[in-house]
Amino acid sequence: MSSYNSKLSRRAFGGAVGAGAAAAAAGLGAAPAHASDRPAVPAGPAADARGAAPREREFRAARERRSRRPNVLFILGDDLGWADLSSYGAPHIRTPNLDRLGRQGVRFTDAYAGSATCSPTRFSLYTGRYPGRTKGGLAEPIADKSAGLEPTHPTLASLLRDAGYATALIGKWHCGYLPDYSPTRSGWDEFFGNFGGALEYYSKLGLGGEYDLYEGDAAYKDLRYYTRILTERASEYVSRDHHGRPWLLNLNFTTPHWPWIADGDTAQSAEIVRRIKAGDARALWHQDGGSVEKYRQMVEDLDRSVGRVLEALKRSGQEEDTLVVFASDNGGERFSYNWPLSGNKASLQEGGIRVPTLLRWPARIDGGQVSRVPVFSPDWTATLLEVAGTRPHPAYPLDGASLAGYLLRGEQPAGRDLFWRVRGERALRRGNWKYYRGKAGRDQLFDLASDLREQADRAADEPARLAQLRAAWEHTDAGLLPYPA
C-alpha cells in the first residue's frame, strides 16, 4: 500500500485577473418566494446537544455589504438523499459539521439536482444548461467511453479560469473517460480523482475492473480509503497560497455511493475485489450488501470529512471570502432516508431530484437562515459566474438563473419553471405545482404546498393547469437533443 506523498502539481496559469472585476449587474431570479407560494416543509434543524432546535429565520439579504470576488468551494455528496442530514430531519444520522455549515449560512428546503442520476446532473452544473443540450448529457449516466463533456463546450471552470481564477476538481468526474474527456480538457487546471461513476473505496477498481485513481491524466497509486485521500487533497488545496488569485474547487466525494464500504471495512473490500477480478460485472453494485447502519457510518464519515476541509479553510484565513456550497448530485438510493418524499435516485419524483443544499459566504450572507425558493443545479452555475464578475459564453446561453440578486441585493426572485427530463419520465415545477409523468405514461399534477409526498393527484380537478404545464414541458423538450434510439 502506498502512502500519500505528494501534492497536486502546480501549473503555469494563463489569463490575468481583471483589476476591477466584481459581482456583475442584476441576474435573473428563481421561482416565486411569496408566502402563499412556499411549500410546507416538515423537516427542519435537528435538536442541539441541549435538546433545543436552533432557530432559522426566513432569508433576507444583507445588502449593505461589499467584498472582493470570492473563492468558490463547491462540494457534492454522491447519492445523498434530501433528508439524510440531521438538519433535514434524519432521526438516526448525526451530521454536526454540515449542520453547522447551514447554521453559518443558508439552508435551502426546495433545492433540486439538475437530473436524477450522477453524470447528467454534473453536466448541468458544469455547463449551466439542461443535460439534453449536449450529446454527453443524454447518457443517464455515462457508462462507457462513447460519450462525455466535449472540451470545446464552455464550463464553469473554463469561464472562471478565463476570468482569472485558479481551478481544480478533486474527486468524481463522471463526465467522460480518457483519452477524449477529462477535467483538464474542460477548464480545470488540476484534477485528482476518478473518471467513472463508482469505484471500490480501497482498491480503486471501477465498474469495468479498471484502476481508476488519477492525477491529471496519469494513474496515481494510493490504496487507502478513498474519502480520506480526497479529504487530504482538498485540505491541501484550500490551504495553498494562490498568490492573490481567487480559486474554484469542485470537491466531489463518492460517499455515500455504493459499494457500502466504510473506513476500516477491509474484509468487505477484499471480497468485492475478489468478485471483480473473477469477472462479476455487478460486484460494485453491492446488491447483496449494505444496511441502514452501514449507510449511517458512511454519511457521518462524509460529514467529518467536510468538517476537516472546512477547518483547513478556516486555518488558511480564507473562510470569510470563500463561498461554500454543499449539495448532492441526485436523490438518495437504497438505504437513504427520504421521508416524506416519494421515489429515489433515477426517478423524477421529489425523492429522486430534491437534495439537501447549504450555502455559506460570511463576507456577504448572514447565518441562521432558511430559503424556500426553488433552485436547481444550473442556477448555481449562473450565480457563481455573476459573483465572480464574468458572464456565460454568448453562443451557449444558460438554462439556470442567477440567484445573486436574491442572495446579495434583496431582489425579489422572478418566476420561472424548473424542467427535468429522463428516459421514460418528465417533470416540470411552476410555483408550488408540479407536472409529472412516470414510466406508466400517465400525466399527474401535484400541489407540493400541501402534498410534498406526491400522493394526491390533482390532474382531474385542474385540467387547464395540467394542460399548461404539459405544454410548457413539451415546449422546452422540443429544443433539446432527442435520445438515441
Active site residues: 118, 174
Count H helices and E strands in the chain, helices first: 10, 17
Residues 6+ apart with CB under 8 A from 352: 116, 330, 331, 343, 344, 345, 346
Provide the sign of the torsion angle of the four alpha carbons 425, 112, 130, 200, taken in this order.
negative
* DSSP three-state, residue 87: helix
Measure the CA–CA gap between 109 and 449, rounded to whole angstroms: 12
Strands 71-77 and 322-328 turn out to be parallel
Strands (E), 329-450: 357-360, 369-371, 375-376, 417-422, 425-430, 433-437, 443-447
Q: Cell numbers for 442, please give them.
A: 400517465
Residue 75, judged by CB atoms within 10 A of its CB (0-12, 13-18, 19+), counts as buried
Query: Is the CB of residue 3 less than 8 Å from the CB of residue 224?
Result: yes
Cα separations in angstroms, 305 against 79, 95, 212, 301, 360: 16, 11, 21, 6, 17
Kindly state the greatest CA–CA separation across the chain.
64
Return the H-helix or E-strand segment holding 170. Answer: strand 166-172
Provide the sign of the torsion angle of the four alpha carbons 288, 289, 291, 295, taken in this order.
negative
Bridge partners of 294, per DSSP, are none
Return the H-helix or E-strand segment holding 77. Answer: strand 71-77
Q: Give first-to-last CA distance, the chain, whole Å.
A: 45
Return the H-helix or E-strand segment holding 469. Answer: helix 463-477
- The single-letter DSSP state of residue 107 is E
Measure the CA–CA gap between 438 and 396, rounded to whole angstroms: 30
Measure the CA–CA gap between 201 and 260, rounded to whole angstroms: 9
* DSSP three-state, residue 309: helix
The alpha-carbon radius of gyration of the chain (Å, integer) is 21
